[in-house]
Amino acid sequence: MKRFNLNLDSDIKVLLPDGSAHRLIDYLLPSATLMIAALLLMISMFLPYWRMKLYAPQYPNGLAVNVYVNHLEGDMREVDELNHYLGMPILDEGGRLERSISYYGIAVLGLLLIAGVFVHNRWAALIALPAIIYPLIFVADLYLILYQYGHSIDPKSALGGAIKQFTPPLMGLGTIGQFNTFSSFQPGFFFSLAAVAAVFLSLWLHRAAYKPLADARKRVRLAASQPSPAVPQEHA
């Protein structure tokens, strides 16, 4: 079996200013990885990021709420119905602003990553930074929404006096009333993490490719500013 040759056409070389030749693939890979990162982010928009399942004796199959960047799916109606006893707002009230701008926001992140393809210096890292911190922002915002939600129990509601303010857990088990809850991150969130990984990989590949180029430039510039040591040899 022929080994997969990452070097593409080995006759095509990248010639650095100092005359040293590099493989073409070294310069294509960082751009490709960055574009993959952008693609992963785009895909994540169509997948659930987070889910909470709620189990109680009278809900043997459980209730599920799946959180996407721009909408909710699942048994919100029943969860809302149950939560009205606590005077809580409907689930759809949570993170409305974030959901309304999410598609544009992620599109901007993706475009920034694609723009990064054309930046071959350390500013590339800055351009990629929003995509890197995006999952963190998601988690922080989700926590904030959950906190606000769990702290919106109306003491004057039917069961408001019976249940204390709480924050539903971001991950793992929780309990509220007769319900056991289980929260977990979902494929969309993992795609966004994979995008972060791809960005890091890209930056590393980027550095591996463009550092020799910068060094070569430096060497050439240095050589040009000094009298050439080769000239006297001609006289010799």
Partner 1 sequence: MKKVLTLVAAAAVLLAACQSEPAKIVAPTTTGAAGSTGALPSDAAAVATERGLSPDDVYAALKTYMPSGKTDPYIMFSSGGQAGQMLVIGVPSMRILKEIAVFTPEPWQGYGFGGSGNKILEGGKVDGKDVLWGDTHHPALSETDGSYDGQFVFINDKANARVAVIDLRDFSTKQIVKNPNAINDHGGSFVTPNSEYVVEGPQYASPIGWKYAPLDQYKDQYRGLITFWAFDRTKGRLDTSKSFQIELPPYWQDLCDAGKKVSDGWVFCNSFNSEMATGGVESGKPPFEAGTTKNDTDYLHIINWKKAAATVQAGKTEMINGMAVIRMKTAIDEGLLYFSPEPKSPHGADVTPGGEFIVVGGKLDPHVTVYSFDKITAAIKAGGLDKDAYGVPVIPLDKAMETQVELGLGPLHTVYDDKGYAYTSLFLDSAVARWTLGGPYADKHPEKPWTLVQKLPVQYNIGHIAAVEGDTATPGGNFVIALNKWSLDRFANVGPLLPQNFQLVDIGKGGDQMKVLYDMPIGMAEPHYAQIIKAERLKPFEVYPALGWDAEKMAVDPNAITTEAQARIERNGTKVEVWMSVIRSHYNPEQVKVKKGDHVIWHLSSLERTRDATHGFALSGYNINLSLEPGKTETIEFDATLPGTFTYYCTEFCSALHLEMLGYFLVEP
**Which positions touch partner 1 (CB under 8 A)?**
53, 55-57, 59-62, 77-78, 81, 85, 158, 171-173, 180, 182, 184-185, 190, 193, 196-197, 200-201, 203-204, 207
Minimum distance of partner 1 from residue 89's CB (angstroms)? 14
Minimum distance of partner 1 from residue 52's CB (angstroms)? 11
- Which residue, 27 or 182, is less far from partner 1 as judged by CB? 182
Minimum distance of partner 1 from residue 209's CB (angstroms)? 13
Distance CA 54, CA 37 (A): 33
Name the residue type at position 32: A
Minimum distance of partner 1 from residue 225's CB (angstroms)? 32
- Which residue, 57 or 232, is less far from partner 1 as judged by CB? 57
Minimum distance of partner 1 from residue 227's CB (angstroms)? 39
Distance CA 206, CA 37 (A): 14
Minimum distance of partner 1 from residue 77's CB (angstroms)? 5
- Which residue, 207 or 219, is less far from partner 1 as judged by CB? 207
Greatest extent of the chain over all pairs of C-alpha atoms, in Å: 103
Distance CA 13, CA 22 (A): 6
- Which residue, 148 or 167, is less far from partner 1 as judged by CB? 167
- Which residue, 52 or 213, is less far from partner 1 as judged by CB? 52
- Which residue, 85 or 143, is less far from partner 1 as judged by CB? 85
